[in-house]
Amino acid sequence: MRIVVHRALPSALCLAIGGWGVAVARAAASDPDISKAEWPMFRGGPALNGVGAGKLDTRLSLRWSNKTGAAVRSSPAIVDGRVFVGSDDERLHAIDFATGTNLWSFKTGGPIESSPLVLEGKVYIGCDDGVMRAFDATNGKPLWSFPTGDRIPGSPNFTRAADGKGWSILFGSFDSRLYCLDAATGRSNWTFETGTGIKGTPAVAAGLTVVGGCDAMLHIISLTNGAKLGEVEIGAPMLASPAMHERRAYVGHNENVFFCVDLDRGTNLWSYKDRGFAYISSPALVGERVLFGGRDKRLHCVNKDSGKVIWTFPTRGKVDSSPAVCGDKVVVGSDDGRLYVVSLKDGKDVWSYEIGQPITSSPAVADGEVVVGCEDGSVYCFGPGQPAKK
């Protein structure tokens, strides 16, 4: 793998952005202030670290399932007692977290692979019809829509607006652009053009956003005005979303390499290469560990500083689902139709549940429960104790 830095980052941008406020602290899954009952976006928070608050029981039971009209590849968000998730039935669904009953749904113009972002009473989600939409989270009332030139398979992220008063929404499209919109109005703040389509979700931390694409480049962009701060040639398309921690980005690509990049220096700190299978799963970062699924049918755990393998966990199908960490456990789906819980320490099998159809949706963890979509068209919720009565 060849790393080429096309532009160095200004040293001034090594300073972390301040003043994010309480809402960001609540939305960042790695922040201890987050409510244990929330998972507000894909990977849990803006840095896309895939870590939830609280802990999971050793054994889980099916609490409820909710049938949509088609496969559920979207990953759920959980906020204020509601589960939000897209479906290939072209609808955004709002479901009661406690009972699994339908609260509302909205029909869009195409399948929804994108995962929702819930922020201050609004839900934001992209769609294969190329439109980013905002809704009232309580009743599903449409608030605004923003059309792009192609489908939006990735999920929206957010950051404090440049004026420090409002919020901005960031997302990529297959029209080769990264968009930054005003969260309240949907008006464009700036756009950044890449070489080809963007499938993943941009990671946000320390005044930067980082996104990969089908152009085999890792793009480093200023949140303030969308200016290019740097780009790193990776050598293969990236369908996964990067995770960020301490000015480093972690992500795998569509061939068979997972890597860690120093964003200040634009250098590759380490690479992990096992067998010749793609890494489509987005990583989770916790402590000294990085966790990600592979199309080699395994969940991988490597050291965050060196890339050396700590353990691997075998499944019976591709692992495109992105793992979520909760306490001392890791949750992930597999194309073998099973949802797995494994030990964070040693990768040993703790619990599994066979749904029977591929799980490419990434699990959300909140309040000791796990919610995930499945290609059988249903959304499933698992929690401690006895199964709920149907």
Residue 3 lies in a domain: no
Instruction: Give the contacts of 4 (CB within 8 A, at least 6 positions apart).
Output: 232, 233
Three-state secondary-structure class, residue 12: helix
Q: Calculate the dihedral angle through the C-alpha atoms of 277, 280, 286, 290, rounding to the nearest 10 degrees.
A: 20
Residue 371 lies in a domain: yes
* β-pair type (82-86, 77-79): antiparallel
Distance of alpha carbon 40 from alpha carbon 328, whole angstroms:
21
Higher-pLDDT residue of 215, 318:
318
Question: 7-21, 49-63, 115-129, 149-163: which has the minimum mean pLDDT?
Answer: 7-21
Where residue 253 sits, what CATH number does that domain have? 2.130.10.10
Residue 6 lies in a domain: no
Q: What pLDDT score does 164 carry? A: 87
pLDDT at 120 over 50: yes
Model confidence over 177-213: pLDDT tens digits? 999 999 999 999 999 999 899 999 999 998 899 999 8
Model confidence over 52-105: pLDDT tens digits? 999 999 999 999 999 999 999 999 999 999 999 999 999 999 999 999 999 999
* Mean local confidence (pLDDT), 37-44: 95
Q: What pLDDT score does 36 carry? A: 65
Q: What pLDDT score does 3 carry? A: 40
Helices then strands, counting H and E runs in the chain, come out as 1, 33
Three-state secondary-structure class, residue 245: strand
* Neighbour count for residue 49 (Cβ, 10 Å): 27
Residue 311 CA neighbour count, 13 Å, CB half: 13
Provide the domain limits for residue 302: 11-383
Residue 69 lies in a domain: yes
Model confidence over 313-360: pLDDT tens digits? 999 999 999 999 999 999 999 999 999 999 999 999 999 999 999 999
Residue 5 lies in a domain: no
Q: In what order do the strands lie in the sheet with 188-193?
A: 157-160, 167-172, 177-182, 188-193
* Cβ 117 vs Cβ 126: under 8 Å: no
Q: What pLDDT score does 213 carry? A: 86
Model confidence over 252-309: pLDDT tens digits? 999 899 999 999 888 889 999 988 899 999 999 999 999 999 999 999 999 999 999 9
pLDDT at 15 over 50: no
Higher-pLDDT residue of 367, 162:
367
* Cβ 325 vs Cβ 343: under 8 Å: no
Residue 388 lies in a domain: no
Model pTM score? 0.91
**Which DSSP letter does residue 11 get?**
G
Binned at pLDDT 50, 70 and 90, residue 110 comes out as: very high
pLDDT at 12 over 60: no
> What proportion of the chain, given as a percentage, has pLDDT over 70?
89
Q: What pLDDT score does 195 carry? A: 84
Q: What pLDDT score does 113 carry? A: 98
Q: What pLDDT score does 31 carry? A: 36
Residue 333 lies in a domain: yes
Distance of CA 357 to the CA centre of its chain: 21
Q: What pLDDT score does 275 carry? A: 83
Q: What pLDDT score does 32 carry? A: 32
What are the phi and psi torsion angles at 148 (to 5°)? Answer: -115, -175
- Locus of tokens 């652009």: 177
Q: What pLDDT score does 386 carry? A: 56
Higher-pLDDT residue of 355, 20:
355
Residue 209 lies in a domain: yes
Considering its fold, how many domains does the chain have in total?
Answer: 1
